[in-house]
């Protein structure tokens, strides 16, 4: 039965850039599992992914069919809308879930005890969560990306958004999951966000400034974008892989 401790079946929703990196990690045995079950709204993407792998891959036609196969862990790597549609159903099924489209979690009222958020394109979340317990006065995230990643064509540096994380994640659902992850980590503190479109940068850069009860923090991450999806940092996919490794060992 799939619910025994030996269950090492992984479900994947979304066969885009992140889903492909994750599947390749399974193929290379970086993640050890028995079977990969994939679903994509665009069935051709699932078929294309399956064709590139030697590892056992089962394609399903719906999330209900995916749940019926009872994977130990499911990874959502599709979109905020997909997460909003499927997270409640997966949570109700009692399956461990990794959510990449973290912006969706800001508006969902569900039990998050089995929902896991990878660090994504940033790190240091353990320190930020610890500071949040003591009390955070201010968190400012400045994200700097090439115009191509933001679908703009400005020739000079331009601030395209200033506001708070919740709105940033809604307005930039694919580009600002970092803001949502920060907001979930430091709540109830609010995260101020500045998004900069900068043609001079080649890497997705995130700078986090924190003032808290007992000091200050400054974290900076400059990540190569995924070659097939400039909106996504390669580190985001690898953070999901690391988290998946841990969950499969439990």
Residue 150, pLDDT above cutoff 80: yes
Helix-, strand-, coil-residue percentages of the chain, each rounded to 5:
35, 30, 35
pLDDT in tens, 91-149: 999 999 999 999 999 989 888 899 999 999 999 999 999 999 999 999 999 999 999 98
pLDDT of residue 3: 47
d(CA 75, CA 73): 7
- Helices and strands per DSSP (H, E), number in the chain: 9, 13
**Cβ 122 vs Cβ 182: under 8 Å:** yes
**Cβ 73 vs Cβ 244: under 8 Å:** yes
Mean pLDDT across 68-92: 96
Q: Answer yes or no: 226 catalytic.
A: no
pLDDT of residue 1: 39
pLDDT of residue 5: 55
Residue 177, pLDDT above cutoff 80: yes
pLDDT in tens, 192-216: 999 999 999 999 999 999 999 999 9
Residue 219, pLDDT above cutoff 90: yes
Q: Pseudo-torsion of CA 80, 82, 87, 88, nearest 10°?
A: 110
pLDDT of residue 234: 87
Q: pLDDT band at 230, cuts 50/70/90?
A: confident
Residue 244, pLDDT above cutoff 80: yes
d(CA 52, CA 209): 42
Ranking 6-10, 68-72, 111-115, 142-146 by mean pLDDT, the lowest is: 6-10
**Cβ 220 vs Cβ 206: under 8 Å:** yes
Which residue is catalytic, options 145, 206, 226, 231?
A: 206
Residue 184, pLDDT above cutoff 50: yes
Average pLDDT, the chain: 94
Mean pLDDT across 38-66: 96
Residue 178 main-chain phi, psi, to 5 deg: -55, -45
pLDDT of residue 83: 96
Percent of all residues in the chain with a pLDDT value above 90, rounded to a whole number: 87
Using the structure block, give the residue that is written with the tokens 């969560």.
129
| Full set of structural domains in the chain with CATH | 9-116 (3.40.50.720), 125-230 (3.30.360.10)
Q: How many CB atoms lie within 10 A of CB 103?
A: 30
Q: pLDDT band at 2, cuts 50/70/90?
A: very low
Residue 237, pLDDT above cutoff 60: yes
């Amino acid at each position: 039965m799939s619910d025994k401790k030996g269950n090492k079946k992984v479900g994947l929703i979304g066969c885009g850039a992140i889903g492909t990196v994750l599947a390749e990690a399974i193929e290379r045995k970086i993640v050890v599992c028995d079977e990969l079950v994939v679903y994509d709204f665009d069935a051709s993407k699932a078929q294309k992914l399956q064709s590139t792998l030697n590892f056992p891959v089962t394609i399903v036609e719906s999330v209900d069919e995916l749940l019926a196969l009872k994977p130990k862990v499911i990874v959502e790597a599709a979109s905020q809308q997909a997460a909003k549609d499927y997270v409640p159903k997966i949570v109700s099924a009692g399956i461990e879930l990794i959510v990449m489209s973290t912006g969706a979690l800001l508006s969902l009222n569900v039990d998050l005890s089995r929902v896991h958020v990878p660090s994504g394109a940033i790190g240091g979340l353990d320190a930020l969560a610890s500071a949040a317990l003591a009390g955070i006065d201010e968190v400012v995230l400045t994200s700097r990306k090439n115009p191509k990643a933001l679908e703009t064509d400005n020739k000079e540096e331009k601030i395209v958004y200033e506001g708070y994380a919740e709105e940033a994640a809604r307005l930039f659902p694919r580009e600002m999951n970092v803001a949502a992850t920060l907001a979930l980590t430091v709540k109830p503190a609010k995260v101020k966000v500045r998004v900069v479109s900068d043609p001079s940068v080649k890497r997705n850069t995130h700078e986090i400034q924190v003032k808290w009860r007992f000091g200050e923090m400054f974290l900076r991450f400059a990540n190569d974008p995924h070659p097939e999806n400039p909106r996504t940092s390669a580190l985001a996919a690898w953070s999901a892989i690391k988290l998946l490794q841990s969950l499969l060992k439990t």
